[in-house]
Structure 1
Amino acid sequence: MAKNFFVTGTDTDAGKTFTSVALLKLAQQQGLRTLGLKPVAAGAELIDGVLKNDDALQLQAASSVQLPYSQINPIIFEEPIAPHIAAQNAGRTVGVAQLAGFVRGALMQPADFRVIEGAGGWLVPLNPQEMLSGVAKVLELDVILVVGIKLGCINHALLTARAIRQDGLNFAGWVANCIDPDMAQQQENIDTLKRMLPAPCLGVLPYAKAGEADLSALELPLAG
């Protein structure tokens, strides 16, 4: 049975793409067909005359099931700003039903392990009424939280976990991504999160400047 996960973060730059790519590669190592999606992205450059987002390109490259870029990342804005503001600036409207429809179409492709990466944190607006997390709710996706390990991460992680559960979704697991190599008491913070977060820790990714994640530090949330 295919496993579908929505990957969110404690904040922008927590390492959602870094972690999502690592999970996709690990799943491939275990013989699973993989697919990564980025329904909405803000921040892009023209490549062969087409706007493309680097995060989405990384997900596409890490997927064994190959889809056209337009299915990996159906909604894209050039400005690297909050999606709802980017949409306003572009004179466009983006909604949960629209994005969920795009994702459903992509999920029709056979795969064993799929990740749908969000943008920013859990409560990122799409428009004045809807949040991007609404896509995960409509599609009833299990959620993986990427915790950017830095000062303040405990509060951010606990608040996000509470919001995920209040939205009625399964909090399938979390990954500690060590984004600050100089953080004081790093291990103590991770140990606190392991005690307090109501989901299993799927791994601790050491700091990797422009490098690849240590796949041996991860496990897939395939139980259940």
Structure 2
Amino acid sequence: MPAYFVTGTDTDAGKTLAACGLLALARRAGLTTLGLKPVASGSDATPGGLRNADALALQAQSRPQAGAAGGQAVDYATINPYAFAPAIAPHLAARRAGVEVRLADLSGWLRPLLALECDLTLVEGAGGWRVPLSAREDLAGLAAAHALPVILVVGLRLGCISQARLTAEAIAHDGLRLAGWIGSLVEPAFAEDGALYRDNLATLASALPAPCLGVIPRLPAGTPRAMAESAAGCLELPDVH
């Protein structure tokens, strides 16, 4: 199974929950897994350095070696090489920290991890498809540099159809394949009219040039691991092709 780049229609679309759900589903099937977060804003200070909740959730689902169970099988720096404290756009957070995030450096970090050939590797972006890293580069360039097929997480809210179509068009414009999309209910009120909700999902299914890998409802708050397991029950793994 190839590696995939996970992007969203916007910030807080549910990328991490969807990615962790896919990784948990793969682990249930006995597959090796690796979840990566190249750049993360909104990180907390800890004795070990800045730690991002999304990256920690991906770390918890990463088992790149067969038989690895319990504990953390991958160190944090491997999962998330760039963590910034303020919850703002990555290029602005990097500027405040006096750090330059370059695609060349991210590619150098990612290349040996892809060479591990895990059964499922997911590289989760930050925000939407066009989130910048600098005035010249954006994070989508990392997916393009490694020809990663893309999984799009659609935050199910008012306006999501246009956002999803525009994102799919941008992915195609960059020469990448949309391998699948996942709906993530981020606004419960969006599903109050059941018929309209189903019509929106049907419109997305007909408008997006890739299969739906599942729809994640609004889940009760819980531990990241518990929520990942719940999300896994709503998803299917992307086709290797």
Which TM bucket (shorter chain)? over 0.9
1:48 positional shift: 2.1
- Residue by residue over 1:34-83, the C-alpha shift from the partner in whole angstroms, topping out at 9 and shown as x without a partner, is 00000111111122241110000000001112221101000111111000
Structure 2 portions without partners, runs of 5+ = 65-72
Instruction: Report the more deviating stretch, 89-98 or 170-179.
Output: 89-98
From 69, 84, 87, give the equivalent of 1:80: 87
| Matched residue SS, 1:217 | coil
| Matched residue SS, 1:208 | coil
Matches within 5 A, 1:186-201: 186-201=197-212
1:107 positional shift: 2.4
In percent, how many aligned pairs have the same letter? 50
Task: Show the counterpart of 2:70.
Answer: none
CA distance in 2, matches of 1:92, 1:217: 39
Instruction: Report the more deviating stretch, 180-189 or 67-76.
Output: 180-189
- AA in 1 matched with 2:169: R
Instruction: Report the more deviating stretch, 188-197 or 205-214.
Output: 205-214
Pair 1:141-2:158 in alignment: no
Task: Show the counterpart of 1:170.
Answer: 177
Instruction: Report the more deviating stretch, 154-163 or 95-104.
Output: 95-104
| Matched residue SS, 2:188 | coil
Instruction: Report the more deviating stretch, 97-106 or 188-197.
Output: 97-106
CA distance in 1, matches of 2:206, 2:32: 33
Pair 1:14-2:13 in alignment: yes
Q: TM-score, normalised by structure 1?
A: 0.96
Pair 1:216-2:240 in alignment: no
CA distance in 1, matches of 2:84, 2:148: 25
Contact 1:3 1:222 in 2 (8 A): no
Instruction: Report the more deviating stretch, 188-197 or 203-212.
Output: 203-212
From 191, 194, 213, give the equivalent of 1:202: 213
Pair 1:67-2:74 in alignment: yes
Task: Show the counterpart of 1:105.
Answer: 112
1:110 positional shift: 4.3
Pair 1:117-2:117 in alignment: no
- AA in 2 matched with 1:206: P
Structure 1 portions without partners, runs of 5+ = none
Instruction: Report the more deviating stretch, 116-125 or 179-188.
Output: 179-188
1:179 positional shift: 1.4
CA distance in 2, matches of 1:47, 1:220: 34
Contact 1:40 1:74 in 2 (8 A): yes
CA distance in 2, matches of 1:162, 1:25: 29
CA distance in 1, matches of 2:135, 2:232: 39
- Residue by residue over 1:177-211, the C-alpha shift from the partner in whole angstroms, topping out at 9 and shown as x without a partner, is 11111114222111110111111001111111324
CA distance in 2, matches of 1:19, 1:146: 7
How many residues align structurally? Answer: 223
Instruction: Report the more deviating stretch, 10-19 or 109-118.
Output: 109-118
Q: TM-score, normalised by structure 2?
A: 0.89
| Matched residue SS, 2:3 | strand
Task: Show the counterpart of 2:186.
Answer: 179
1:98 positional shift: 1.0
RMSD of aligned alpha carbons: 1.2
CA distance in 2, matches of 1:51, 1:214: 27
Which contiguous aligned blocks of 4+ residues in structure 1 show a shift greater than 6 angstroms? none
Instruction: Report the more deviating stretch, 100-109 or 57-66.
Output: 100-109
- AA in 1 matched with 2:201: I
